[in-house]
Chains A and B, each alone.
Chain A
Amino acid sequence: QKEVEQNSGPLSVPEGAIASLNCTYSDRGSQSFFWYRQYSGKSPELIMSIYSNGDKEDGRFTAQLNKASQYVSLLIRDSQPSDSATYLCAVNGKSNYQLIWGAGTKLIIKP
């Protein structure tokens, strides 16, 4: 079992709809959770971090964390074609310096 798992996609969502991205992790001791967006050929860009159970909203983005079920999700409201990218989930490892990464979910927003 991989430590951080994401559906590779592609996930296709119509423009204006809500895109829902999911991530599960295996280490119950994990404390920090991050979503990065990566455009093709570019480096990852941090878009959300979450540390406590529940929801965290930032503009059109909402991160949701459920430590009991060991999953973290990212919702993108009013999806735009510019949101088309690969979304990477990262979870802190045994040491707080090391992030364990999922392989990413490719999101396609169709106009």
Chain B
Amino acid sequence: DTGVSQNPRHKITKRGQNVTFRCDPISEHNRLYWYRQTLGQGPEFLTYFQNEAQLEKSRLLSDRFSAERPKGSFSTLEIQRTEQGDSAMYLCASSLIRTSGYNEQFFGPGTRLTVL
């Protein structure tokens, strides 16, 4: 088990371009989360999936952001018409639903986005 992986690790784009990030969770995990983190802050929740269903999306999330998790495996996060304010570290995490309800989330290495 290699843990959560994310690609690309770094992305530099020009304002107005679209970008797509990929996350591969730990294989047996059925929950997948996307977060955004800026310097000096904790991770900010964006959205989460249970299997292939997107169950929650942050109200702070612009409609320029969309996420998918086809077949409940890997997930993609797309940002359309990027803005300089989108520059951040985008983190993916996964977890396994437990009967106890406890929810330990494990993070991938992140994708650092820079919008010029």
* Residues of chain A whose beta carbon lies under 8 Å from any beta carbon of chain B: 4, 8, 31-32, 34, 36, 42-46, 49, 51, 88, 90, 92, 95-99, 101-104
Contacts and interface: CB of A to CB of B under 8 A. Distances in A.
A102 to B, nearest CB: 6
Contacts of A95: 56
Contact of B91 (A43, A98, A104): A43
Interface residues of B, number: 24
A96 B103 contact: yes
B34 to A, nearest CB: 12
B102 A90 contact: no
Interface in B70-106: 89, 91, 101-106
B31 A97 contact: yes
A98 B104 contact: no
